[in-house]
Amino acid sequence: MDDPPRELLSSEAIQSRVKELGAQIAREYAGKSLVLLCVLKGSFMFAADLAGAIEIPLRVEFLGVRSYGDDTRSSGVVQITQDLTRPVAGDHIVLVEDIVDTGLTLSYLREQLLARAPASVKVCALLHKPSRSVSPAHIDYLGFTIENVFVVGYGLDHAERYRNLPYVGVLPTS
């Protein structure tokens, strides 16, 4: 049996921060056409909790993206695996990311979204690893800054496992 990941961020800490982020986003987008854009698969839990914490009308869209495969390091190649179902022209987009690591995926997604003529694009990320940045990563709403460790849980995975953990943890080293 595998050893469980070591807890880095508790479920309680995550939920508290998600509520704060949701309140901030709700204040800033009151009266505007807001699209919460969940980047799959890793941000699905974060996006669901965040949507519930934003107490204004919004639309939820999903964008499937892959850059890790089964490895613990980004390949540097971003693959869109699922596109939006509706246009976002004129809408205010909050792009919901699980983790900003190198910044390459975020830069690519921002460029792709801006080509669709939204009113604005902002980024909400649960986690940021600034030590791994190779491309500038402007994050408008940030949950937590972490060290350069490979994390799982709360939607994040290793080879599609551990997404269901209610906390963010670090895998034991072999």
Where would I find the H helices in 30-159? 44-53, 104-114
- Copy the structure tokens of residue 133: 């940045």
101 is catalytic: yes
Q: What is the DSSP letter of 20?
A: H
- Check 49, 91, 101, 157 and give the catalytic one: 101
Q: In what order do the strands lie in the sheet with 34-40?
A: 79-82, 59-66, 34-40, 92-100, 120-128, 141-145
Q: Which residues are catalytic?
A: 101
